[in-house]
Every structure is written in C-alpha cells, then in structure tokens.
A and B are shown apart, each in its own frame.
Chain A
C-alpha cells in the first residue's frame, strides 16, 4: 500500500520540481548577460582592488608578499589624514547647506504657478551643466580682482579675495560651487516628495490652529522622511565620487588644503605609482562610504512615517 502511494506521489513531485525549476532557470538565463558584465566590470575589479591593497611590492625586486603593510603606510601618511579631514569638512559643508537650501526652495516653489515654474527652471539650471564645465567657468568667477565674484563684491565695497589661492578659503570656494551645483538637483526630489503629502492633513492642521512653522515641522518634514533619506545618501555618495572641480580648479592645493579622498587616490596611483597604497585608500574610502550610507539610511528610515493607505 505504502509503496503504491509512493509510486503515485513521485511523478507529481517531479512535475512540481520541474515547474519550480523552469522559471528559475529562465530567470538565470535572462540575468546571465548582466551578471557577466557586472562580474567583468564591477565584481572582478573589486576583488582585484582588495588583492592589490594586500599585495606588498618593493622597488627593484620582483618578490611579492601579502599583508596589511599598505594600510599601515596609508594611516601613517599625513596627506591621507589631511584628505580625510578635508573630505569630512567638505561633506558637512556641502550636504547640510545644500539639503536645507533644497528643502527651502522646494517648499517655497511648491505651488504650481507660472512664476514658480520659471524659478524652478532657474534653480535647476546648474544641474544641467557637467561639473567639469561648471568648474571651468568658476575658474574665471573666482579670479582674484578680475573675476565675476570680486568684480561685483568690489561694487559693494569689499576687497579682493584670492578664492582658490588662499588655503583657508579654497576648500570653502569648492563647497560653494558644489552647493550651487547640487541644491537644484535635491530640490527636485523634495518637490516630488511634497506632491505625495495628502492635502487633508494640512487642512486638519489648519482647523486645529497650527501655524506655518508647526505645519512644516509636524507634517511636511516627517512625511518627507523617505526623500530626505534618499537625498542624504545621494549627497554622501557625491561627496566621495565627485572630484572634477578639484582637478580643474586646484589640483588639491594650495598646500594640500583642497585635497579630497578620490583625488588623493588618483595622485597616489598615477603620480606616485604606489598602487598598493592607492588600493588600500580605495578600500578604506569605499568601506567608509558604505558604512555611512547604511547608518544614514537606517537612522533616517527609522523615523520615517509612511502613509497608511
């Protein structure tokens, strides 16, 4: 009896297995080209960088050993800690103001009037420029004395400033350029987020007698949580991955005051030919970036209030 039952069961199981395997196999087949290219251009290079960061080569000998020597040298390098600090300042200096500015612009230009549409376009315009082009333009904006900035500041009675040549100012000039460039982009995400907030919440708040600030604080800001989390991560990634303006405007100078991590990696690899140290710096900065993105997503999303319906 038992044997008969099994004999009947077996084909059914096989059919179910075939059905289950069918779509899976098809899925893998469809994914295969992407996986191939991802492996070739993303995962394989990542493995190579990890290996390179552990490989220790000495000039004039072919012997290779593996260890943490590159990381030790990296952490002992004052230029690396300098770039790390600069990148930290640059992160705080660009992320906070550009998000605040983007939020203010989004709330201010929320109503779909014709004037607002025009103003949105104006604010969004810098996003359309490639960073390299923007930096090349700002080279002339920042020229001491003759540049656009000094020219108009002089009309207001201000003196000459060497925006890129003074080590105390240069990094903040780059910060200014970045905020100008990115605020419009982030505004776009906030505008989209604002559209999703139901109007009846504001009406209810008005009936309860809540002022504009209270409405912003209690309704807009919490409900923009997902947008805020997303924009923060994008901004964080931008801080590490965008260096075009450093290359065009300062090359990390004067006296290393505008050197950022990615440019440090470039210099170490291609000017000092120290591939081991450059790979170690890459590993450290990518780890840092992943960690920060993870933390900011977790903390910001915990406070997120998703719409119930």
Chain B
C-alpha cells in the first residue's frame, strides 16, 4: 500500500530534516512553519496564496512561513493525515470545514482556546468576529478547534433571458418549492419525446450531492445529522423523505430535471450552453459563472418549503497536535493574520468565497465590491439563514451512504422511502465503532 511506503519515506525525511533543522537553528532564530493549503476551484489561487505568505513573512521577520500546495480538499486531508502519522505535522492546515470534527475525534488537533486566552480574549469573543453560521464546524465539544477561512453556500442561478421568454419575471426568482416546480415546468422545452432544455439541474456527483441534499432537507425544516454528536444521522426522517420525494417528483413526475446523474461540471456547462434554465451551484462558482455566462443571469436563495436554510461549505484553518510552543505561537500568528478583515476581504474578492470575518464587509474596498456585484450581495444575504455543515465520524463514507441511495432514486432504481431506510442502515453500520465506544459504552452493573 502506498501509505506504508510513504511512512518509510517520511521517516527518512524526518531524519534528514532533524539534521537540517539543527544546523539552521544554530544559524538563525527564525521560527520556520509549514502550512498545507488546498485549491478546490480552478484559477490562480495557488499563486495568490504564495504572494499572501510572502507578505506575511515580510511583516513578521521572526517567522518564516512556507505555503505547501496539497491539491484538492480530499488530497489535503490525505496528506495531512499522512504527515501527522509520520510524526511530522504541518503547523497549520486549511482544511475542509466538515473534516475538522474527525481530527478532533481522533485527538489529532490542538484546541485553540489557550492561544486565544493568551491574547486576552475569551473564546466566545474570538468566535464572535465570524458569521454565526460558521461557528458550528469550528467551535464544538466545548472548545475552539478551527478558524474559518473561506466559505460558501449553495445558490440558485437562473437564466434571465429564458425566464423572460417563458413569461416569468427574472427579478422575482422562485422562492418556494411550489414556485420552483412551476417555473421549472414552464422552462422545460420538449420536442417529440426529447427534452431540449431542462428547467432545473443540480450537481449530483459525490460530495456536491450531499451538500445539496442538506440544503433541501434544511429548507424542509430538517437537520439530517446531530451537530452536537458525531455518531448520529437522521436520514430516515420525514424532513429528509420530503426533500428526496421532491427530487423524485422533479425527475420522474414533472420530468423537469434529468433522471440521470449530472456532474457539477456538466451542470455549469449546460447552464452556459442554455440547456438548463436553473441550476444550483456553490457561491464559490460566482466568479466562474460571471466570466463564462454569456446570457443575462441572476442569483437567488435556494427555494424553501418550510424555511430558508442552507449549509455552509468551505474551509477553516486548524493546527495539528505535536508542535513546539514556538511553532504553535508562529502558526497562531499566521492564522490570525490570514483571517483578519483586510486579508479575508482580499481573498474573498479574488476567489468568490465570502469572507468569514464580518468586519471585512465594513472596509471601503469591500463595500464598493458588493455595490458593483449584486450577485455577491445575494450570497451574503443568504448567510443569515446558513447553518453548519454535515460532519460525523467517518464523514465521507457516511455521506456517501446517503448519496448512493439518492442517486438510485434519481435514476429511478429506488423509491424515496426504501432508499432512505437503506441509507440509514448503512450509515449506522459505518458509525458503529464510534457509537460503541461513546454513546453505547455504558457502565456495567456489578
């Protein structure tokens, strides 16, 4: 297995770096730290990150930070784990916000409370500078484990030209599921037995689909996992059944959405090509859509059945365990700097993610940006209704247990109720080791 040979390599690397580190320590007193960072979307993000780190190093002569590009969110997760297992953790990692819980469960990350308190702040006051929706995936189990860095929510994108042609008002996009379905029916174009244009498309590949289903279930009043305990999900529940039945209806009864799995890339391509009138995509795609969409378009909240609610996405900064106090201090300085209003705002304007730090939006350059980009404002407004992201023990596998079944419903291979039962059973099996060693680990009677 790759990991095992990796471990050998990492040990060799460790020996080399210890020798090297000893030599360098004698030469200079700078604290050297490494930060792993992913680039989940296309663009020149890696370059921008390097220049940010250069700025940081100039402003902090006592620290020499190095940004290490580690691929996608999943690859960053993998490489971080390998580095931790090899005993050579990076000082900071920009980690997908829903993976933080697992690092905490495995006792691999540092609670940030002591560092916050050393700055003379309370943990709650520190978290208070970030949007409320971001707290759940960063502050849990009584401690602060991560600092939000770049975040997103799902958003409804509509083709305004096609809306007008179908007799709909693009300035009043559908706000409820009823309006959503009605609009989709009007927008769908068929010729003979063939659908020439779909009223609606949603990304249905792994990861994206789970996120969209979270949004739909939340819009239906539900919450399909326990945000306080990583061993429980509620797939087989009325709110989830309602959301999945709605998807089933869109695909099979109304036939306004393809009854086959569409990848996120296929969804954006279809939207640009005018073959899908409405799509649900991340706010992180705002810049991408802005650059590629030729038709007039608008963005709107994800429509509701019972309430407006979506889950956040994106990434936070976390600090692995096992660092020296100097490295911890240096990493903490870097984390605070990267999430400060000015830097967060700059990163937000560059990437399309919204800035987690509320104060970023009080800066003049940010106000100007929001004024000239009304779509970014909608994304920001929806944040009021956002909640924390799906995170459990074994997050990816537990999420996939649901996604496989939702895909089966979309392709017509399963009915919503039985699909959710199967998903629940699979998820319970996956979380069993954790549940057995926590909630079901009871004191035995004499």
Q: How many residues does chain B have at the interface if contact means C-beta atoms less than 8 Å apart?
A: 46
A84 CB within 8 Å of chain B: no
Interface residues of B in 406-433 (CB under 8 A from A): 407-408, 410-411, 413, 430, 433
Closest B residue to A140 using CB positions? B269
How large, as a class, is the contact surface on chain A? Answer: 35 or more
Return chain A residues, CB-CB under 8 Å to B81. 270, 273
B204 CB within 8 Å of chain A: yes
**Residue pair A165, B275 in contact (C-beta under 8 Å):** no
**Residue pair A146, B273 in contact (C-beta under 8 Å):** yes
Query: Whole-angstrom distance between the alpha carbons of A164 and B195 in the complex?
Result: 18
Query: Whole-angstrom distance between the alpha carbons of A143 and B441 in the complex?
Result: 49
Interface residues of B in 46-82 (CB under 8 A from A): 74, 77-78, 81
B404 CB within 8 Å of chain A: yes
Question: Min CB distance, B248 to chain A, in Å?
Answer: 15
A28 CB within 8 Å of chain B: no
Return chain B residues, CB-CB under 8 Å to A271. 74, 396-397, 400
B265 CB within 8 Å of chain A: yes
A162 CB within 8 Å of chain B: yes
Question: Min CB distance, A274 to chain B, in Å?
Answer: 9
A215 CB within 8 Å of chain B: no
Q: A59-B433, A60-B437, A253-B261 are in contact. Are A159 and B193 (CB under 8 A)?
A: yes
**Residue pair B206, A253 in contact (C-beta under 8 Å):** yes
Closest A residue to B266 using CB positions? A143
**Residue pair A255, B408 in contact (C-beta under 8 Å):** yes
Residue of B1, B260, B275 near A146 (CB, 8 A) is: B275
Interface residues of B in 115-153 (CB under 8 A from A): none
- Interface-facing stretch out of B3-11, B167-175, B341-349, B379-387: B3-11
A203 CB within 8 Å of chain B: no
Residue of B8, B205, B263, B441 near A40 (CB, 8 A) is: B8
Query: Whole-angstrom distance between the alpha carbons of A82 and B270 in the complex?
Result: 32
**Residue pair A58, B437 in contact (C-beta under 8 Å):** yes
Q: A59-B434, A144-B258, A144-B260 are in contact. Are A279 and B273 (CB under 8 A)?
A: no
Residue of B3, B204, B404, B437 near A275 (CB, 8 A) is: B3
Query: Whole-angstrom distance between the alpha carbons of A52 and B2 in the complex?
Result: 13
Q: Which B residues contact A (CB, under 8 angstroms)? A: 1, 3-5, 8, 74, 77-78, 81, 193-195, 204-206, 258, 260-263, 265-266, 269-270, 273, 275, 393-394, 396-397, 400, 403-405, 407-408, 410-411, 413, 430, 433-434, 436-438, 441
Show 19 A/B contacts (Cβ-Cβ < 8 Å), sorted by A.
Answer: A45-B5, A45-B8, A58-B437, A59-B433, A60-B437, A60-B438, A143-B266, A145-B270, A162-B260, A165-B204, A165-B258, A166-B261, A167-B408, A251-B206, A253-B261, A270-B77, A272-B397, A273-B394, A275-B3
